[in-house]
A = this chain, B = another copy of it.
Amino acid sequence: MALLSPTLIETGDLSITGSSGTRQDRLFHAIRDKIVANLWPMGGRLPSTRKLAEELSLSRNTVTAAYEQLVAEGYIESRLGSGFYICVDLPDHYLPTQSSRDDSRPPAIAQALDLNAPFAPGVPDLAAFPAAKWQSLLQRHAGRQSLMGNQDLQGLAVLRQALSDYLASSRSVHCDPSRIIITAGAQQALSLALLATLNRGDRILMEQPGYTQMRKIIDWQGYQLQTLNIQPYQGLDVNSVLTSESEALYLTPSNQYPMGTTLNTEQRLKLIEWAIAGKRWIIEDDYDSEFQFAHRPYTSLQGLAGQMGCDDRILYVGSFSKVMFNSLRLGYLVVPSSLVSRCLMIKDALTGDTQAHTQAALADFIQEGDLLRHIRKMRRLYKDKHRLMLDAISRFFGDQVEVLSQPAGLHITLRWQGGIGEDDWAQQAEAAGIVLRPLSYYEPAAHPTRDWQGAVLGFGNVATDAIDTLIARLAALFHHQPERSTSSESA
């Protein structure tokens, strides 16, 4: 949004107070407070880094770094060749941690970019969703008075029945409606799974790189994270699990996130045995296994255990974000009978029952066959997109990058050596309006053995005919390798 003659911000009364934090931090907070308090007009232009550095007797590097952080968190924006401006649409981008789910970008990268921008992982094709059908189902239930009062904490019985049938036939999950808990999104299912099985200080094994949103619960609740290094193509080293004394294992066995490997039946059996023998828990996150392009998906780990009559240590987590759309915010947890009442106790305390009308509409969507139809259609569409992605990557990158992930799901994982750093590339992509997730985002600390660069591209919500252009743009950044540092600064 171009503003005519932007106000130059008067920074005379800006002072760096307090003594905690670096000077950069204090400057960042001082400016942010002005913006948040509406004391500086939206669209106003900040003094150049050189000018402010002089005024405040700070080094120019300090000011530059503070400005960059303000840009990264969406308070100000940089306009090439013109300077730094206070962002106009403050309320939308107010907070440093506003974004959610796995699809949030790393905190180091600007928040102003749309959460669902091209290549954001975990976003399905939103335009292809049968919105009219969904609207009519919502309409069918939205006025039902019997759904307006307090509802079953565990989820509507009709939905649990429909889901039970679907899971049994599509994912070989061993369950009945009494073992399903409907949650307000899969993240709630993951947190319930942890809170119902572990005590503070308990150990949990988790893939590295792995699902960042899971790590947030682990960190916040004070569980001991024990990482399992995922090797390209090989995936999980099952032996390192078998020798572990951890109380629990969290994993994505059908399409390791984000490395795109899969566990075969033999490996799954070993893990099940480990859990049963040691009375440990396995939390299976089956976030996108509906989308396998090369072969039929493996039976879920939970279903495999169920076939042998020993699924009482396995919790199965599923999401509707990938097969329908993200903001639906419905997920589910399939637990052993022994855990049902404990999970419900925690759900009751933390959040209560889940929105009823949407559940009723979803039950119909499943029961009337719409979900399966949509999944089949999307499997074809994503398979096409995946092929177009591979083609474009091959054409624009040649052999400079390698695709690690199996043909499945909604994302592609790249590896390369030498050349641009993954974090730099991601930052430049961001500036170009593209989400490129660096692999570092999925690692709690620097990976001990990784001597290569990696990044994840979600192709679910990218238009088929935009793939070439976007990959070309990424390739240009990749090959150009502009310097990092303060090259974008202009004032």
Q: What is A's interface to B at a CB cutoff of 8 Å?
A: 36, 91-92, 94-101, 103-104, 115-116, 120, 122-123, 126-127, 129, 131-132, 134-135, 138-139, 142-143, 145, 147-154, 157-158, 160-161, 176-178, 184-185, 187-188, 191, 200, 213, 216-217, 219-221, 325-329, 337, 340-341, 344-346, 348-358, 461
B216 & A325 in contact (Cβ 8 Å cutoff) = no
B contact residues around A326 at 8 Å (CB)? 148-151
A178 to B139, Cβ gap below 8 A?
no
Q: A97's contact among B103, B145, B151, B348, by CB below 8 Å, is which?
A: B348
Note all chain B residues with C-beta closer than 8 A to A123: 149-150
A99-B150 in contact given A91-B158, A184-B184 (Cβ < 8 Å): yes
B residues near A152, Cβ cutoff 8 Å: 92, 95, 98-100, 115
Partner of A216, one of B94, B213, B349, B356: B349
Name the one of B149, B187, B188, B219 contacting A461, with C-beta atoms under 8 angstroms.
B149
Contact of A148 among B145, B154, B327 (CB under 8 A): B327
- Contacts A147-B327, A151-B326 aside, 13 further interface pairs with beta carbons under 8 A come to A91-B161, A95-B344, A96-B341, A97-B345, A101-B353, A127-B145, A134-B142, A135-B143, A139-B139, A184-B184, A184-B354, A191-B351, A329-B355
Determine whether the beta carbon of B91 is less than 8 Å from that of A151. Answer: no
Copies in the complex: 2
- Interface CB pairs A-B, < 8 A, 9: A123-B149, A131-B145, A147-B327, A149-B327, A188-B352, A191-B349, A200-B200, A327-B357, A329-B354
Closest to A328 in B: B355
Chain B nearest CB, measured from A138 CB (Å): 5
Which residues on B sit within 8 Å (CB–CB) of A188? 350-352
Considering the chains assembled together, what is the distance between the CA atoms of A326 and B461 in angstroms? 34
Which B-chain residue is minimally distant from A138 (CB atoms)?
A: B142
Which residues does chain B contribute within 8 Å of A158, judged by CB atoms? 91
Query: Is B327 a contact partner of A356 (Cβ separation < 8 A)?
Result: yes
Q: In the complex, what distance in Å separates the CA atom of A96 from the CA atom of B462?
A: 46
Residues of B within 8 A of A328 (CB): 148, 355
Instruction: Report the bound CA distance from A97 to B328 in whole Å.
Output: 26
Contact B353 A100 (CB under 8 A): yes
Residues of B within 8 A of A216 (CB): 345, 348-349
Distance from A264 Cβ to chain B, minimum over Cβ atoms (Å): 32
Across the A-B interface, the 6 shortest Cβ-Cβ residue pairs: A116-B149, A91-B157, A100-B153, A327-B356, A187-B352, A148-B325
B177 touches A91 (CB 8 A): yes
> Which residues of B lie under 8 Å from residue A161 when comparing CB positions?
91
- Give Cα A152–Cα B213 distance, bound, in whole angstroms: 15
Given the complex of chains A and B, what is the CA–CA distance between A354 and B183 in angstroms? Answer: 12
What chain B residues lie within 8 Å of A132 (beta carbons)?
143
**Bound state CA distance, A135 and B191, in angstroms?**
32
**Complex: A178 Cα to B96 Cα, angstroms:** 11
User: If the complex has contacts A220-B346, A329-B353, A351-B351, are A153 and B91 also in contact, measured as CB distance less than 8 A?
Assistant: no
Task: For A115, give its contact among B103, B149, B219 (CB under 8 Å).
Answer: B149
A207 → chain B, closest Cβ, in Å?
18
B352 engages A185 (CB within 8 Å) = yes
* Nearest B-chain residue to A191, judged by Cβ: B350
Q: How far is the CA of A157 from the CA of B348 in the complex (A)?
A: 28
Which residues of chain B are within 8 angstroms of A345 by Cβ–Cβ distance? 97, 216, 220
Nearest-Cβ distance from residue A107 to partner chain B, whole angstroms: 11
Q: Are B160 and A91 in contact (CB under 8 A)?
A: yes
- Minimum CB–CB distance from A34 to chain B (whole Å) comes to 14
Chain B minimum-CB-distance residue to A222: B200
A163–B195 CA distance with the chains assembled, in angstroms: 32
- Give the complex CA separation of A348 and B104 in angstroms: 10
Residues of B within 8 A of A151 (CB): 100, 115, 326-327
Contact, CB under 8 Å: A145 / B126: yes
The CA of A185 and the CA of B221, in the complex, are separated in Å by 22
Q: Which residue of B lies closest to A149 (CB)?
A: B116
Cβ–Cβ < 8 Å partners of A143 in chain B: 131-132, 134-135
Which residues on B sit within 8 Å (CB–CB) of A145? 126-127, 131
Give the residues in chain B near A184, CB-CB below 8 Å.
184, 329, 351, 354-355
> When A142-B135, A177-B91, A350-B217 are in contact, do A327 and B150 touch as well, CB less than 8 Å?
yes
Residues of B within 8 A of A154 (CB): 94-95, 98
Give the shortest distance, in Å, between A134 (CB) and chain B (any CB).
7
| Distance, CA A219 to CA B461, complexed state (A) | 43
> What distance in Å separates the Cβ of A119 from its nearest Cβ neighbour in chain B?
13
B contact residues around A352 at 8 Å (CB): 100-101, 185, 187-188, 213, 329
Using Cβ atoms and an 8 Å threshold, which residues of chain B touch A99?
150, 152-153
